[in-house]
């Protein structure tokens, strides 16, 4: 395969010379041409592997037999959810024990496949605000769906990425966040500045701006801030959540730096004049909350390393501790009936407690062991909650909770059988003595003789916890004798905020060395050997995989990185870069640059080193990690490696970061990964 052309640019930042031979990939059409050519060569290589067809057939079989049901939402007497039996999930409504499909994105015409990226039903369940995107881009056109007729009406709200629509309690309209329209004349790192939340009334009319920088003098916003409106039904207040940094998909838990403001809901009729007062400041170190009448229950890690729950009055500002901090990490809270539910994480696995709102003893809510809460949502009437739980070997189950858990039966049980799979919870010692959660899956009766092909995955950023959840796509690897391991790296949230802080910014080396130390532990305990070991990670998982690749190429036979970040010193100059600076660092300060240099594996590639086999994936429509990130690393490794092992970049021409991929796309990439590893981890 012909190496990419070199045109080196050298930046000097705080005395550090940063040499970049492939800077040209960041702009212009030449990158696309190079990626498509590389993708064609990679496809030829992967489809020619001996086990690829067999693995794909098995993946198609296990996913065909599993009905995926996700994203539950309750409104009125209706339950809405996404169900996937075909190419993409469809929107379903359940009412009176009957189910019907409301929207099948596969029927929408377009140059690329469509997916429903987000939806939110009106309080009475009569309408649904929907975000539809094409080709995995996550860039949504917002529509209003009439539940009775199935009519889908487009609004003028476009370019909505993670729009988080929120309805007014009377259903007269909804708020939705959108980005500015793409403008190639604007530098990439400024294209998402000054985003806004718009209000769309029902019954006609153009959407109007509710929140935007400079729109209201009592609501200060920076260019990169993202503002969202919340309008709970049990209070006359409305709230503005201002996100100052990258965070997860929820507006109520596992948040990073944010502020929360309140105003009288009636004042939103004139959003330029209403008076906002601050409720939560980033200095409060809050990561989650639940609003109930005149009280907001907050999850805060201020003076509580694994977080505690406090109750703050929205009227007089008084604060009291409701659930003190402890060994578990508190992740979120919800009010259900006369109790506060507390969702915990204990070394990466789910736990749940409750406490009466009036005060009293904290009680344990029994959950199945060793798994994850994939979703939990309170019914708008406040009397019950829906909790979706699964584990490595238990398929997802939707429970209704109103004081006890009851299986709703709404999720068909997968026939995929994991009864022959053993799950072992380990603690791998890091080099500084810290014990890192390490979960290992394999067939029962596995011999610990160091000969087992092993894939170890890790993430370790944003305080995010990799889910210990049922995944039929792992079975083709496990049933052929493969080992799968998940490392709960520092920088993630397996032990709450303190775990996140221990792998963030200048502590980011811990994320990488934890990955290396977990790999060595698997070798030392006989699960595998360096000749049969592969690392794997996706997105920010490119930090531990890329970091381990350039620090310990001798420890791995192969490395797989999906839609990864590698060249972190350039990340902030991409569209999605500025909001990630609080997590990883910035070139604007010397300390920020030092943090970035820890995680920039692209700059650490050395010519003449025998690197292991590498498979990198990229999506041309990726809105989160620009395609030049994986492309530059692939080009650098291809030019540098002294081994005869392949360095491949797999290109999804009609895909993005993976969230909007079709079932066939998901199966194809897993078949490629498993076939690649089967070939490269042979003894």
The token duo for 573 is 């100059």
CA neighbours closer than 13 Å in the CB half-sphere of residue 238: 26
Q: What percent of the chain has pLDDT over 90?
A: 93
User: Higher pLDDT residue, 204 or 120?
Assistant: 120
Query: Which residues 6+ apart lie within 8 Å of 241 measured at CB?
Result: 227, 228, 229, 230, 251, 258, 259, 260
Q: What is the mean pLDDT of residues 99-118?
A: 94
Contact yes or no for 193/180 (Cβ under 8 A): yes
Domain annotation for the chain: domains and CATH numbers: 9-48+417-680 (3.40.50.1820), 73-183+193-284 (2.130.10.120), 292-415 (2.130.10.120)
The pLDDT assigned to 426 comes to: 97
Query: Which residues 6+ apart lie within 8 Å of 236 measured at CB?
Result: 264, 265, 266
Q: Is residue 1's pLDDT more than 80?
A: no
**pLDDT per residue as tens digits for the range 21-44:** 999 999 889 999 999 999 999 999
**pLDDT per residue as tens digits for the range 272-321:** 999 999 999 999 999 999 999 999 999 999 999 999 999 999 999 999 99
Q: How many residues does the chain have?
A: 683
**pLDDT per residue as tens digits for the range 412-454:** 999 999 999 999 999 999 999 999 999 999 999 999 999 999 9
Q: What is the DSSP-derived secondary structure letter of residue 412?
A: P
Contact yes or no for 96/671 (Cβ under 8 A): no
Buried/exposed code over 269-299 (b: 16+ C-beta within 10 A; e: otherwise): eebeebebeebbeeebbbbbbbbbeebbbbb
**pLDDT per residue as tens digits for the range 589-643:** 999 999 999 999 999 999 999 999 999 999 999 999 999 999 999 999 999 999 9
The pLDDT assigned to 383 comes to: 85
Strands 114-121 and 98-103: unpaired
Query: Which residues 6+ apart lie within 8 Å of 494 measured at CB?
Result: 329, 345, 347, 348, 437, 465, 488
In angstroms, the CA 250 to CA 175 distance is 16
In angstroms, the CA 79 to CA 428 distance is 43
Q: Is residue 248's pLDDT more than 80?
A: no
Q: How many of the other CB atoms lie within 10 Å of CB of 193?
A: 16
Q: What percent of the chain has pLDDT over 70?
A: 100
**pLDDT per residue as tens digits for the range 53-107:** 999 999 999 999 899 999 999 999 999 999 999 899 999 999 999 999 999 999 9
The pLDDT assigned to 406 comes to: 93
Strands 141-146 and 152-154: antiparallel
In angstroms, the CA 564 to CA 460 distance is 13
Q: How many of the other CB atoms lie within 10 Å of CB of 435?
A: 12
In angstroms, the CA 487 to CA 427 distance is 9
Q: What is the mean pLDDT of residues 117-139?
A: 96
């Amino acid at each position: 395969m012909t190496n990419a052309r070199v045109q080196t640019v050298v930046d000097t930042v705080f005395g550090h010379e940063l040499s970049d031979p492939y800077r040209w990939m960041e702009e212009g059409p030449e990158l696309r041409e190079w990626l498509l050519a590389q993708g064609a060569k990679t496809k030829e290589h992967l489809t020619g592997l001996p086990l690829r067809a067999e693995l794909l057939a098995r993946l198609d079989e296990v996913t065909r037999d599993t009905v995926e049901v996700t994203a539950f939402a309750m409104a009125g007497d209706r339950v809405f959810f996404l169900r996937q039996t075909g190419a993409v999930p469809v929107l379903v409504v359940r009412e009176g024990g009957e189910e019907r499909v409301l929207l099948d994105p596969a029927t929408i015409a377009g140059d690329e496949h469509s997916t429903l990226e987000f939806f939110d039903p009106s309080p009475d369940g009569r309408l649904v605000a929907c975000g539809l995107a094409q080709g995995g881009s996550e860039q949504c056109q917002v529509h209003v769906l009439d539940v009775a007729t199935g009519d889908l009406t487009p609004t003028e709200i476009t370019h909505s990425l993670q729009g988080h629509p929120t309805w007014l309690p009377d259903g007269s309209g909804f708020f939705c966040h959108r980005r500015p329209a793409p403008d190639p004349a604007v530098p990439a790192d400024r294209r998402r500045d000054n985003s806004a939340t718009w209000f769309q009334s029902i019954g006609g009319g153009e959407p109007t701006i509710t929140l935007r920088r400079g729109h209201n003098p009592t609501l200060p916003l920076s260019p990169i801030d993202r503002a969202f409106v919340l309008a709970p039904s049990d209070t006359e207040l409305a709230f503005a959540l201002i996100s100052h940094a990258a965070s997860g998909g929820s507006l109520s838990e596992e948040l990073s730096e944010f502020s929360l403001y309140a105003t009288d809901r009636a004042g939103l009729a004139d959003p330029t004049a209403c008076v906002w007062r601050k409720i939560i400041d980033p200095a409060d170190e809050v990561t989650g909350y639940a609003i109930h009448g005149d009280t907001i229950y907050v999850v805060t890690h201020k003076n509580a390393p694994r977080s505690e729950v406090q109750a703050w009055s929205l009227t007089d500002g008084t604060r009291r501790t409701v659930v003190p901090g402890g060994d578990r990490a508190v992740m979120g809270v919800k009010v259900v009936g006369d109790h506060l539910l507390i969702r915990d994480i204990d070394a990466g696995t789910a736990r749940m407690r409750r406490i009466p709102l009036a005060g009293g003893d904290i009680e344990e809510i029994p959950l199945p062991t060793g798994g994850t809460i994939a979703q939990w949502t309170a019914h708008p009437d406040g009397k019950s909650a829906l909790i979706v739980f699964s584990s490595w070997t238990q398929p997802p189950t939707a429970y209704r909770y109103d004081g006890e858990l009851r299986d709703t039966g709404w999720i068909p049980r997968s026939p995929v059988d994991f009864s022959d799979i053993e799950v072992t919870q380990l603690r791998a010692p890091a080099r500084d003595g810290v014990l890192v959660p390490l979960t290992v899956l394999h067939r029962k009766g596995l011999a610990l003789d160091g000969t087992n092909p092993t894939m170890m995955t890790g993430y370790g950023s944003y305080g995010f916890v990799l889910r210990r959840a049922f995944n039929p796509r792992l079975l083709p690897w496990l049933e052929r004798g493969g080992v799968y391991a998940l490392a709960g790296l520092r920088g993630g949230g397996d032990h709450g905020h303190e775990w996140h802080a221990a792998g963030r910014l200048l502590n980011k080396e811990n994320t990488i060395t934890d990955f290396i130390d977990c790999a060595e532990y698997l070798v030392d305990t006989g699960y595998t050997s360096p000749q049969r070991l592969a690392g794997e990670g996706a997105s920010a998982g490119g930090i531990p995989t890329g970091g381990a690749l350039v620090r310990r190429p001798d420890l791995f036979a192969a490395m797989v990185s999906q839609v990864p970040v590698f060249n972190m010193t350039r990340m902030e100059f991409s569209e999605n870069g500025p909001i990630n600076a609080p997590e990883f660092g910035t070139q604007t300060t010397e300390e920020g640059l030092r943090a970035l240099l820890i995680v920039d594996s692209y700059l650490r590639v050395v010519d003449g080193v025998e690197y292991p086999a590498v498979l990198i994936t990229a999506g041309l429509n990726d809105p989160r990690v620009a395609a030049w990130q994986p492309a530059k690393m692939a080009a650098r490794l291809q030019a540098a490696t002294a081994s005869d092992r392949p360095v491949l970049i797999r290109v999804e021409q009609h895909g993005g970061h993976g969230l909007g991929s079709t079932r066939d796309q998901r199966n194809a990439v897993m078949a490629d990964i498993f076939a690649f590893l089967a070939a490269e981890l042979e003894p």
